[in-house]
């Protein structure tokens, strides 16, 4: 796992946080993590962030569950033929409830796998600050907004002044 070099800051209002994110985007910088005391994903998803890609995992699981269930029932009905009167060996109507259940089951399983995979991938790709000050800072969950930004050591002073110009209350530097 990579070590973190960058800066993190706290803001008292959501407007100051969003203004600083817009200023960072003008410099082609993307924040690693945004902390908030409440859910602000709608405001961030409007312009400030991309989706996670969990829908692709869920859709793949649903498709595999649906087609896999039809295939499984077809193979089982051909393998263990039990002719009853004039009834067909493979009936589509009796397959639909099982296909529906397996579609949901596989979609949920693939969603959970996607959460694990993308969470581990994000942890390796975007490390968070390892200092005790960051780990024990509890105000993000109470009354402050936070912004974590990875950068090289040459950009730290310019980013610190940019964040302070956008009303950052506290700016911490991690090297």
**Beta strands 145-150; 6-11: pairing state:** antiparallel
Q: What is the pLDDT of residues 133-160, one digit of tens each?
A: 777 777 776 788 888 888 888 888 888 8
Taking residue 10's Cβ as centre, other Cβ atoms within 10 Å add up to 21
Cβ contacts of residue 33 below 8 Å, gap of 6+? 126, 128, 146, 147, 148
Global pTM reads 0.60
Report the percent of the chain where pLDDT is more than 70.
Answer: 89
Task: Give me 33's structure tokens.
Answer: 């993590």
- Phi, psi dihedral angles at 100 (to 5 degrees): -60, -45
**Domains recognised in the chain with CATH numbers:** 6-32+127-174 (3.30.70.120), 54-122 (no CATH)
Burial class (CB in 10 A: 0-12, 13-18, 19+), 70: middle
């Amino acid at each position: 796992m990579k070590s973190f070099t960058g800066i993190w800051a706290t803001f008292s209002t959501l407007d100051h946080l969003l203004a600083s994110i817009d200023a960072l985007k003008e410099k082609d910088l993307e924040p690693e993590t945004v902390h908030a005391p409440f859910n602000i994903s709608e405001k961030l998803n409007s312009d400030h962030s991309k989706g996670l890609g969990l829908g692709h995992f869920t859709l793949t699981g649903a498709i595999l569950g649906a087609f896999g269930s039809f295939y499984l029932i077809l193979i089982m009905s051909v393998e263990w033929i039990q002719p009853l009167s004039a009834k067909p060996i493979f009936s589509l109507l009796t397959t639909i409830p099982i296909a529906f259940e397996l579609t949901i089951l596989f979609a949920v399983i693939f969603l959970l796998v996607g959460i694990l995979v993308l969470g581990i991938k994000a942890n390796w790709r975007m490390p968070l600050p390892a200092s005790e000050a960051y780990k024990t800072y509890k105000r993000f969950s109470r009354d402050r907004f936070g912004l974590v930004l990875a950068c090289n050591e040459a950009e730290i002073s310019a980013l610190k002044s940019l964040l302070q110009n956008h009303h950052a209350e506290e700016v911490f530097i991690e090297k």
